[in-house]
Structure 1
């Protein structure tokens, strides 16, 4: 059930690239920074989302004004799932972006499509 290190890094890279693409295409006034496995989304109002890889746990972490959230990858369903609420990463990003930027953006592209091909 545990992801290999290589698969984990590929999944996180793909996820972060997809999130960047979605935000780039959204038309929102924000800054995106990606460095060393950490993607930071800075909104116009000064709030931010930080999406980072936690290699030892094979988790993707999301830090937001609403709190910190940890996601495990469900290999069978091909999606990131919050280890506490079972909310999908895309659903949570949609909800948090609406709360922080007042705009609804679809993040469906990151829930349930990872098969190694973007």
Structure 2
């Protein structure tokens, strides 16, 4: 994947997350600034998504840790580099634990 394709995949993923948050009836706020999506939970904790262009990864920072995702073309989704867990599953866990909100992400 070249840099342009990577940036488009990250943009699409972050846009999908924003749309889901907009449609949900929650007290979560978010800010998207320069490819960094910061979700602000009701308890004022943050879940932060960042693009890491040099390594072609999407990074996620949460209370439970920092996670790095590579895009897998075979399964058409982002997979955590440490154990191949899909981004959807990790987000479900992170948002449930940190924000007290349950989402079914379809990224």
Question: Which residue matches 1:74?
Answer: 72
Number of residues paired by the alignment?
A: 107
Offset at residue 101 of structure 1 (A)? 2.1
Partners of 1:18 and 1:85 in 2: how far apart?
Answer: 24
2:27 maps to which of 19, 26, 29: 29
Normalising by structure 1, report the TM-score. Answer: 0.87
Alignment gaps of 5+ in structure 2: none
Give the equivalent residue in structure 1 for 2:39: 41
Note the residue ranges of structure 1 that are not aligned, 5 or more in a row.
111-118
Per-residue CA distance 1:17-56 (angstroms, 9 max, x = gap): 0011111111110211001110000000011110010000
Task: Let me know the Cα RMSD of the aligned residues.
Answer: 0.8
Query: Structure 1 residue runs of 4+, over 4 Å off?
Result: none
For residues 95-114 of structure 1, give each alpha carbon's deviation from its aligned partner in whole angstroms, at most 9, with x where no partner exists.
1111112221100x20xxxx
Partners of 1:85 and 1:76 lie apart in 2 by: 16
> What are the within-5 Å matches in structure 2 for residues 78-89 of structure 1?
78-89=76-87
Q: Which residue of 1 aligns with 2:60?
A: 62
